Structure 1
Amino acid sequence: MPMTKALFIGSVVLLGTSSGCMATNAGVVALRPDGTPGPQDCPEESKKAMRYMKLRVGDAAWVELDANQIKSKPITLYDGPIESMLKNDLGILEATTRLYGQVWTGGPQVVIRYYEAHPPESEKVPICAVARLSENQLRKRPESLPGTAILDFSISGVNIVDSFR
């Protein structure tokens, strides 16, 4: 990792840790009647860190949804925490950066919200991002059991957001 990039990410880490705990905010999400998560604000620490990293709403990259099921077809996701991995750079977050978030499988499509990024050779930084694919490609297969989602693909787009809707 180039020295300036490492220093930049290190500065973001200091910014995030000085603003308070960078723990995920997933535990306070209200659920809709179909089991999907309701609206949620992006924490101010995450917005500040994303501005510092020059990540803007709509910035996108490809992500392996589950770091334990890379290139698998199909994959099974479970309600709860998830560790994903960037396949290509997202701003200064380089490929292989780990994204940590939460999965909800209650509705017809999987919902994944990311709250932290862990770049290689650096500390975790707070972010707000979602897994997103058009054409219903995050739709669960019919044989998915409650609390799980079987998906046809292991990859998705990941998009930076300023709030979760």
Structure 2
Amino acid sequence: MIRVPVLAISSLLLLSAVLACSTGGVSLRADGSPGPEECPKETLKLMRFLRMGIGDAADVELDLNQADTSPITLYDGPIESELTSSLGIFHPPTRLYGRVWTGGPQVVIRYYEARPPDGDITPICAVARLARGQMKKLPGSLPGTAIVEFSSAGVWVVDSFR
């Protein structure tokens, strides 16, 4: 009889872990876009040390597999992008690693790590943005995907994700 509750608890823990991994541990809004998320305090300290101020910006190629293409298709999940201009101490072709959410009306990309070509992975908090609603999904975007007009965007340093 002990096995049934243990099995049930184990199943619930496994389900919780799977759900947390599928959303990156971020709560989702009703439209499928990610909810607020704090930037870890240690990451904020490190960004200050690296002279990366909140609001500092650079240019980024969103998906290296679709560079200089228009339009591109982004998928829910991990993304590898590349700086095309400098962001603090990070210079092109530093890679940015993050996550894409396509559930809402606009694509949301949050970056959590930077890796210069000759360096180690460094935690960061940054977001991809384009003005005038240009991160909106184009018609024809299937569930779990987003077709967007441009392959490049701006990336901004943030102190939290909203």
TM-score by length of 2: 0.85
Largest Rg, 1 or 2 = 2
Please report the RMSD computed on the Cα atoms of aligned residues, expressed in angstroms: 1.2
Deviation at 1:119, TM superposition (A): 0.7
| 1:119 paired residue among 100, 116, 123 | 116
| 1:34 paired residue among 27, 31, 35 | 31
| 1:97 paired residue among 94, 97, 103 | 94
TM-score by length of 1: 0.83
User: Aligned residue for 1:156?
Assistant: 153
User: Aligned residue for 1:129?
Assistant: 126
User: Aligned residue for 2:56?
Assistant: 59
Distance 1:129 1:154 in 2: 18
Distance 1:120 1:53 in 2: 17
The runs of at least 4 consecutive aligned structure 1 residues that moved more than 4 Å come to: none
Distance 2:120 2:149 in 1: 32
Distance 1:84 1:43 in 2: 21
Distance 2:40 2:25 in 1: 12
Deviation at 1:138, TM superposition (A): 0.4
Unmatched 5+ stretches in structure 1: 1-25
Deviation at 1:71, TM superposition (A): 0.4
Deviation at 1:48, TM superposition (A): 1.4
Unmatched 5+ stretches in structure 2: 1-22
Deviation at 1:85, TM superposition (A): 0.2
Aligned residues: 141
Distance 1:46 1:139 in 2: 29
Distance 1:46 1:72 in 2: 33
User: Aligned residue for 2:104?
Assistant: 107
Deviation at 1:45, TM superposition (A): 2.0
| Amino acid corresponding to residue 151 of structure 1 in structure 2 | V
Distance 1:153 1:91 in 2: 24
Matches within 5 A, 1:138-157: 138-157=135-154
